[in-house]
């Protein structure tokens, strides 16, 4: 059995910064409300005329991660792409990255686990490397939320939270003494699927029926989130799944060098930090700058944390996520 290391990290965010004050101009909201409830000061939103799409942003992040790993693009032998905002309904963006990077006809897998997508993808890639099937896997999390949000007062409970961007890692077969993915833990609870979802158009909300109805009050085109309900589940599940991973390794919260939680809401991260008794220097947050970028939030944070010198080789890293599905997961990694 082989072991998997994180060989390289990279991220890309669109240039266009949307501050809370900019949102005050288009909906009834305030910088004070957004900062107090979420910690978010600004986010990146791709302008409508931009060439950036989830696959294009993912490819930009991927090139940086491949360079960071000291590899050539042609060393990549498999792609895993996690997103809830794919370029198209189908096909998924994994194949577009294969094309954009000019790779030969390698496999490309799309992961549909929303905020937990990066950790689900990490787990899949880890198994492929452990068995020896692949040697260097490109794992991307990329999101373009801004094109699908209700940016009116009606949608403010959701739209102020989400941002665009992409992060990528290269996962490689490790040599003795190098980094290691110790474990990944994955969970789901589908009974809450509709508490955080985009329901239409889909195979249950038929396009024909929606076109025929032409109902301007039909909100199923936009993401729906039962914010309070999601918040309450998130704070419990984050802690559970981190403890589950720590228990497997016989470790305690104080052994974590850096926790990178999915950037859902700064208040959620702070609640977990406090409940687990973690110091400020043990937790990484950047939601203030980017908002919630769902599947992209952990790899963007990982890339920034490395660039800032917050993670060093040999340190114990904990990743954790919770989101739509509900799905949640964690991973303990020796960097």
51-90 residues near ligand ACO, rule: CB under 6 A:
none
Site for ligand ACO in 218-247 (CB under 6 A): 227-228, 230-231, 234
**Residue 16 annotated as catalytic:** no
Nearer to ligand ACO, 137 or 144 (CB): 144
Task: State in angstroms the smallest separation of the CB of 154 from ligand ACO.
Answer: 10
Number of residues that bind ligand ACO (CB under 6 A): 24
Q: Choose, from 182, 262, 286, 318, the residue flagged as catalytic.
A: 262
Residue 169 CB, nearest distance to ligand ACO (Å)? 20
Answer yes or no whether residue 138 interacts with ligand ACO by CB under 6 A: no
CB 60 to ligand ACO: min, Å: 22
Specify the residue, 170 or 301, whose C-beta has the smaller distance to ligand ACO: 301
CB of 27 to ligand ACO, least distance (A): 7
Please report whether residue 29 would count as binding ligand ACO according to CB under 6 A: yes
262 is catalytic: yes
C-alpha 61/C-alpha 43 separation (Å) is 17
CA dihedral of residues 224, 53, 120, 179 (deg, nearest 10)? -140
Q: Is 157 in the site for ligand ACO (CB under 6 A)?
A: yes
Residue of 114, 142, 285, 334 that binds ligand ACO (CB under 6 A): 114
Residue 292 touches ligand ACO, criterion: CB under 6 A: yes
269 binds ligand ACO (CB under 6 A): no
Active site residue 318: no
Tell me which residues touch ligand ACO (CB under 6 A): 29, 33-34, 37-38, 114-115, 156-157, 160-161, 196, 227-228, 230-231, 234, 264-265, 268, 292, 294, 323-324
């Amino acid at each position: 059995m082989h072991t998997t290391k994180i060989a390289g990290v990279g991220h890309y965010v669109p240039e266009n910064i949307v501050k809370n004050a900019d949102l005050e101009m288009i909906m009834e909201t305030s910088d004070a409300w957004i900062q107090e409830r979420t910690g978010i000061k600004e986010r990146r939103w791709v302008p409508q005329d931009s060439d950036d799409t989830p696959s294009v942003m993912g490819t930009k992040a991927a090139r940086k991660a491949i360079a960071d790993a000291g590899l050539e693009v042609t060393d990549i032998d498999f792609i895993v792409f996690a997103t809830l905002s794919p370029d198209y309904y189908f096909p998924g963006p994994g194949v577009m990255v294969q094309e954009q990077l000019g790779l030969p006809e390698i496999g490309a897998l799309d992961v549909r686990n929303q905020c937990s997508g990066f950790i689900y993808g990490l787990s899949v890639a880890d198994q492929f490397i452990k068995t020896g099937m692949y040697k260097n896997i490109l794992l991307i999390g990329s999101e373009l939320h801004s094109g699908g949000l209700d940016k009116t007062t009606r949608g403010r409970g959701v739209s102020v939270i989400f941002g665009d961007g992409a992060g990528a890692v290269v996962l490689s077969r490790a040599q003795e003494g190098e980094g290691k993915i110790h474990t990944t833990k994955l969970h789901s609870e589908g009974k809450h699927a509709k508490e955080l979802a985009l329901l239409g158009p889909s195979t249950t909300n038929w396009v024909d029926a929606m076109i025929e109805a032409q109902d301007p009050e039909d909100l199923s085109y936009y993401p729906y989130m039962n914010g309070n309900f999601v918040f309450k589940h998130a704070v419990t599940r984050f802690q559970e799944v981190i403890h589950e991973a720590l228990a497997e390794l016989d470790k305690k919260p104080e052994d974590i060098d850096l926790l990178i939680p999915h950037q859902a809401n700064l208040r959620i991260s702070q609640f977990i930090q406090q409940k687990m008794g973690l110091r400020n220097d043990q937790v990484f947050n950047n939601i203030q700058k980017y908002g919630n970028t769902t599947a992209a939030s952990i790899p963007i944070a990982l890339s920034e944390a490395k660039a800032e010198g917050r993670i060093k080789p040999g340190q114990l890293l904990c990743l954790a996520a919770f989101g739509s599905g509900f799905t949640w997961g964690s991973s303990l990694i020796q960097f």
